[in-house]
Structure 1
Amino acid sequence: MSTREAQNKDLVRSFVEEIFNKSNLAVLDQFVTADIADHKPPFPGLPPGIEGSRQVFAAFHAAFPDARVTIEDMVAEGDRIVWRWTFSGTNQGSLMGMPPTGKPVTFTGIDIFRMADGKIVERWANEDDLGMMQQLGMAPPPG
């Protein structure tokens, strides 16, 4: 692994700790470019770039104030970081217009970040949104 790849992995670890686990959105611009291209925008109508990302993180932290993201695996290759994660938290605030349920959730996902000049410039993601909604009782269980 190159020095740059190791630095990128360290940056993603710090990003997860500060943004997801500490809800420290004041430092988001230290990790993400202003014009980040997010290929999995979670909510329609949000502004592009870092402001849309900031609103998404704020909404999730309001909905899950005890949120915790655990990095399960991380691979660096060139300017890309792939990381598999587990999210856990208790729904204590509204989410996408739905009232809080008080229910705990655990779901997983995989993100791919493209890095440039020590920041995240592009993101692709796949997460178990349906599983989260089922755990909250907002979607019917399978069957």
Structure 2
Amino acid sequence: MLEININTPALLFPAITLLMLAYTNRFLSLASLVRKLHDEYQHGEKEKNILNQIKNIRSRLNLIRYMQGLGIMSFLCCVLCMYAIFRGWMEVSHWIFAASLIFLLGSIILSLIEINKSTKAIELQLSDIEELSKGNIFNDIFKNTES
């Protein structure tokens, strides 16, 4: 079995911390968007796609919650792994470190899914603009410049 030392799980600390910061930033931007949509709704500015936007935001908030939870579990497993290595429980430390990596992998996969939903939300917002639905990249490239 591969030998790990106390530095091995410690290497994940900065990566997990940066991921958690990115997840928190995504959460804060969604919270700001929810407040904006709520204000628009209160002032009677009901957009055509507001229900679709709300469904998308709710789904993304749940994904971010699970992403953060898995990230925290990964961080916790890293700490437990370091403790197990400190105590000399090498077999246990290998299993705990493996669990930490699996939690981190799950968190990153959920992040990828959330990013995909985020781009779909932007596409939904852009679908209201008629000019974008008529054009495509080839029309823009080969546009007649004389008119």
TM-score range, shorter chain: under 0.3
Larger RCO, structure (CA 8 Å, separation 6 or more): 2
TM-score, length basis structure 1? 0.27
TM-score, length basis structure 2? 0.26
Greater Cα radius of gyration, structure 1 or 2: 2
